Amino acid sequence: MPRIHLVSNLPGVSALGDHLRAAGLGPTSARSADALLVLIDRPLDSVEQELLDRARQSVPVLLAGPTVRALPSDSPLVEASGLIPGHTTPPHELRLTAGPDGVGLAARLGEFRPVDSWVVPDKLADDVQRLLLVRHEMAEHPVCTWRPSTGLGMFTLGTSASTLADPAYHRLVGRWLRHALGQHDAPAVGVGLLGTPTTSAVHHAAVEATEGLKLVAVCDGATSRAQATPGVPASSRPADSSARRVDEPEDLLADPEVSLVIVSTPNHTRAQWATRALEAGKDVVISSPFCLTTQEADDLALLAAGRSALLAMYPERREDPAYLAVRAAVRRGALGDLFWLETTQGGYHRPPGGWRDDERISGGLVHDRGFGHLDWVLDLFDEPVEWVSATAHKRVWHHVTNADHARILLHFVSGAEAQLTLSAVSTAPAARVHLLGSAGSLFSEDPVPGWAGPHGVDDDHPAGAARARAGGRHASRGGTADPGQAGIAAGPLTIVTHDGTRIRLPQPAGTPHAFHRALADALVSGWPLHGYRVDSARRVVAVAEAATRSAASGGVQIGPA
C-alpha cells in the first residue's frame, strides 16, 4: 500500500489525515513517502526546493487548499505545476464536474457542492491534466490538476473549515492521490440479490444505477409467485435489466460471476444465508435488520474475518432527509450535549399479515419495525448503552403475532437517555422526534393531517415490489400507508435555543444510493466503508435483542450483550 506524508498547519485537517490513514494511504515520514500532500497557508521558503527534488525522484507532490495562493508568483513550484494562478474568488457554492482526464477521479462523486473560494488560472500548460472543473463566467476552469511530466498537482479547494471537514472532500483528495500514483479502480463487481421481490427491489434499482456494481443474478422467487398470481407480470425486474433470473439460492451462491451477495431474505434466515454466501467465498451485505441475535452477528463477523471478506449492513433509514438534518445539527453542536431523545413512530394500521407481522419470522416488532430507528438513535449517541428497558402490548390486531405497540428506553453510560415508541394502534399523528441538549431543543412540528392511512401492502407480494421500485425504499408496504415505514419525522424540524431563538432546519435531499456508492468505493477502490461494518450492526442487534428480552420479562432493565 502506498504511504503518504501530509504536511499542514491548518486547523481541522486531522479529519483528512484520519480518512487517508483508514484508506491505507499513510502516514509515514517525508523521506520514505510514496507521495507528498501539502495543505499550508504560509510560504514554503526553503522547503520548495526539497519538494521539487522529490517530484524529480518520481514522488508525486500535491499542493492543496491555500497552498497555491501562499506561493510567490515566481515560485519554481508554480512553474513546475503548469498552472499559473490568477485571481481568487470569494467563497461561494461550487458544483464540480469531471474534467477530460478526471472521469475516474469523479466516479460516484454524487452531489458534492462545497462552499469555498478557489484560484482562477491565468494560464495552463498543454500537458496538464484537468481532473475537476468548475464553471465560472461562462467558461470551465480546473480546480484539480496533475502534471505527469513534472510530478506536480494542484487542488485549489480546501480553504474553508466546512470543506476540510467534508468526507466528500477527503474522498476526492484520496482519489487524486491514487491518480497521481497510477492506481486505478478494479473492474465492476458482480452482484447477486437474494431475497423477496419487495426486499430486493431497492437494491435492484440502486445496483443498476451505481458505477462499479454490476447486477448479475436475482433470486427472489418472483417468477413462481407471479405465475400463481393473476394479473401480475411474470417477472418483477425491470424490462431493461440484464440480470439473470435464478430459481434456487444455491445456484446464485455458486455463480462464479457473483462476487457480492446482498441478503434480504425474511429476517430469521438472513444469518443462515449470509453464512452460506461467506462460505462460498462471496462478500456479503445484509439488509437491516442485520440478524436477530448477537451470537449470529459474532459468528458472521468471525467467519468474514477468517475469509478476509467484506461484511456490511445496509441501513435503510440512514438516507432519510429528517435523519440527515438531525444528525448534522447534533454533530455541529447545535444542541450542546445531547442528553434526551424521544421519538414516536407509527399510526393506526391494520397489519396485512405477511411474514413481517409474524414474530417467529420477523423477530418481532422491535427487530423488524424498530431496528432502523434504533440504528439512527445509536448513531446520534456515540457512547455505550448501559441498560435497556422495554414493554409491549397486544390489544387490537389478533390476526398477527407481532406486538401492536412497544416502548423502548435506552440508558447510556453518561446518564443520557433515549425513548422509542412503535405503534400500529395510535390514531394520533405520529412520526415525531424531540431531542434535548444543554444548549437547546430540536423537535418535529405537527405532521400534515392524513399523512398515514389504515391499510398497507404485504411486503412479500409482487405488487409490493412494483410499488417499491416506483416509490423508493419506504413504499414497500404501500408508501406512507404503513406508518412503521415512514421517516423519523413527518413534519418540519425546528431548533429552539435557550435564548428563545427558533431555527427551521432544512432537510437535505441526500445523495441517491449513498450506501451503494460507498459500497462500490470499498470494493473497486479499496476505500473504507465507515459506519456500515459488522461492528456497527452488532451494536444495534445487541440493543434490539435486549429490548425484546426486556419486553418479554415485563420491562426489566437488561444490559446489551
Note the pLDDT of residue 540. 97
The residues facing 245 across adjacent strands are 218
pLDDT of residue 477: 35
- pLDDT tens column, 159-202: 998 899 888 898 899 889 989 998 888 999 999 999 999 999 99
Our CA angle for 332, 18, 171, nearest 5°, is 80
DSSP per position, 449-477: TT-S-S----TTSHHHHHHHHHH-GGGTT
- What does the alpha-carbon distance between residue 340 and residue 330 come to, in Å, rounded to a whole number? 12
Q: How many Å apart are CA 30 and CA 290, to the nearest integer?
A: 43
Q: For the beta carbon of residue 34, count every other beta carbon within 10 angstroms.
A: 18
Cell of 487: 421517516
Cell of 170: 477527503
3-state secondary structure of 426: coil
Instruction: Identify the CA nearest to 450 among candidates 430, 464, 465, 468.
Output: 430
Q: Are 60 and 151 in contact (CB under 8 A)?
A: yes
Dump pLDDT digits (tens) for 392-443. Answer: 999 999 999 999 999 999 999 999 999 999 999 988 766 689 999 999 999 9
DSSP strand pairing (35-39 vs 129-136): unpaired
Place of cell 437474494: 194
Whole-angstrom Cα distance, residue 434 to residue 118? Answer: 40
Which of the residue ranges 31-45, 146-160, 288-302 would you say has the lowest mean pLDDT? Answer: 31-45
Angle, CA 327 vertex, CA 529 and CA 345 arms, to 5°: 105
Give the position of cell 473497486: 524
Mean pLDDT across 125-131 = 95
